[in-house]
Copies of this chain bind each other. A is one copy, B any other.
Amino acid sequence: MRRGEVRDRLLEAALRLCATDGVGATTIRGVIRECGANLNAIHYHFGSWPKLVSELVTAAMQGLNDERFERLDALTDLTSDDVPASALAVLEAGYAPLFRRAAGPDWQSTRAGLVIVQQLRFDPSGLGLDVLDHHSAEFVRRIEARLGAFLPHRPAELRAGMQAFNAAAWDIALRPDTLERTRSAQSPERALKRITAPLFRFGVGGLLAMSKGMAK
């Protein structure tokens, strides 16, 4: 058996079980049963079960953030001359990676980690909340900096708007029927675009409406 293979199999099995059964309902005995490892292997390789879970969360958020940061850094010519187009570009750079990993054509290896993250965001038992906060705080800082460069919003206003859009994006990206619709389509990319495009328009429209003092 390859060196370090058991460790990988443990991670993979834990990832799958946590995503389908829920983190709280997943036990180390279920994991070792799933991948044919020994009960002690988890403690030998990870120290404890919570540490394994936290490694899953870290891997998922790191992979997602790497992609988001790369696309955010690649953004050029953001201008206040065409605010809607610039805002759309920023939102796409920050959240297209989320959708691609949650329901894109190659979601198999990336979706499960995001499902776990979404579960933990509302779980007060605090299995991996601090790890999660660290990663998401860095993203929030960066995307708000990009948006603030051309949006007229006050910081608190921008923060509120992005909190709203962020919640909507995660919810829709990880909704089971979002995956269903892209899987059953003959062109997953096109199907996903049909889901994300309206959401991005929603986000841009919402952000702009926040500061323009409209509709009251």
Copies, count:
2
A205 and B201 within 8 A (CB):
no
A195 and B84 contact, CB distance less than 8 A: no
Per the bound structure, the CA–CA distance linking A6 and B208 in Å amounts to 53
| Interface size range on A against B | 35 or more
In the complex, are the beta carbons of A214 and B199 less than 8 A apart? no
Of the listed stretches A43-51, A58-66, A67-75, A166-174, name the one at the interface; the rest are far from the partner chain: A166-174
Chain A facing B: main interface SS: helix
What is the distance, in angstroms, from A49's C-beta to the closest C-beta of chain B? 14
Which A residues from 158 to 198 make CB contacts under 8 A with B?
A: 160-161, 163-168, 170-172, 175, 195, 198
Question: Are A24 and B125 interface neighbours, CB within 8 A?
Answer: yes
Q: What separation, in Å, do the CA atoms of A160 and B201 have in the docked complex? A: 11
Select the stretch in A33-41, A97-105, A115-123, A135-143 that faces chain B: A115-123
Is the CB of A113 closer than 8 A to any CB of chain B?
no
Interface set of A (CB-CB < 8 Å, partner B): 19-22, 24-25, 84-85, 87-88, 118-119, 121-125, 157, 160-161, 163-168, 170-172, 175, 195, 198-199, 201-210, 212, 214-216
